[in-house]
A and B are shown apart, each in its own frame.
Chain A
Amino acid sequence: DVKVTQSSRYLVKRTGEKVFLECVQDMDHENMFWYRQDPGLGLRLIYFSYDVKMKEKGDIPEGYSVSREKKERFSLILESASTNQTSMYLCASSLALDRGYTFGSGTRLTVV
């Protein structure tokens, strides 16, 4: 089974801090994604990547950036954390888009 590992399960950060969320997958998938999930709003795509050093904006990229220096690792960066970025962040990986995603266990980020 594909394993997608997110480095932190819970994080508490202060407003204005730079925050790094790490995601690693172990099955050589080319496609990786970052979502945030909020009650009533569902899953919203932040950024995605189809290859190393490649990135595409999703629906809500503002306030975020990403890095993919190696195929297995896709990092989400909050340049200056704000309270409205308090959310559950989910990383996902996919071999092919018609095969669905495998999600990581999620990082619940609280910005105070």
Chain B
Amino acid sequence: QKEVEQNSGPLSVPEGAIASLNCTYSDRGSQSFFWYRQYSGKSPELIMFIYSNGDKEDGRFTAQLNKASQYVSLLIRDSQPSDSATYLCAVNAGNQFYFGTGTSLTVIP
């Protein structure tokens, strides 16, 4: 059973702070790792992907991957109220994706 685990939260941070979202996965053969953002009542949208160990930065978002420890994280710097959403971690292993159940983030103005 391939599993992707996320802390469901809710996670609350004040506006301007750093939000840290974490994800662990069970399949060591996983190759690609993704973060999706899902606003309430909407479908998920891809915001970051990472393939190699280390950090990948895109604007206020940084994805971090540690394959040896089997975790991937997402940092959101200078958090804004518009970042309030559920964040889904997804892992590609073989011919499928496996999703975590998501972490709910609330940014408090």
Range of interface residues on A (Cβ < 8 Å): 20 to 34
Q: Are A42 and B100 in contact (CB under 8 A)?
A: yes
Specify the chain B residue showing the minimal Cβ separation from A59. Answer: B96
A105 is an interface residue with CB less than 8 A from chain B:
yes
Give the dominant DSSP class at A's interface.
Answer: mixed
Specify the chain A residue showing the minimal Cβ separation from B94. Answer: A97
Q: Which of B34-61 contact A (CB under 8 A)?
A: 34, 42-46, 49, 51
For A74, list chain B residues within 8 Å (CB).
Answer: none
Which B residues have a C-beta under 8 Å from some C-beta of A?
Answer: 31-32, 34, 42-46, 49, 51, 88, 90, 92, 95-97, 99-102
Q: Are A48 and B96 in contact (CB under 8 A)?
A: yes
For A48, list chain B residues within 8 Å (CB).
Answer: 96
Which A residues have a C-beta under 8 Å from some C-beta of B?
Answer: 33, 40-43, 45, 48, 50, 56, 58, 90, 97-106
Docked pose: A52 CA to B4 CA in angstroms: 30
Q: Pick the contact of B101: A33, A42, A101, A105 (CB < 8 A).
A: A42
For B34, list chain A residues within 8 Å (CB).
Answer: 100
Docked pose: A79 CA to B99 CA in angstroms: 26
Rounded to whole Å, the gap between the CB of B41 and the closest CB of chain A is 9
Specify the chain A residue showing the minimal Cβ separation from B46. Answer: A100
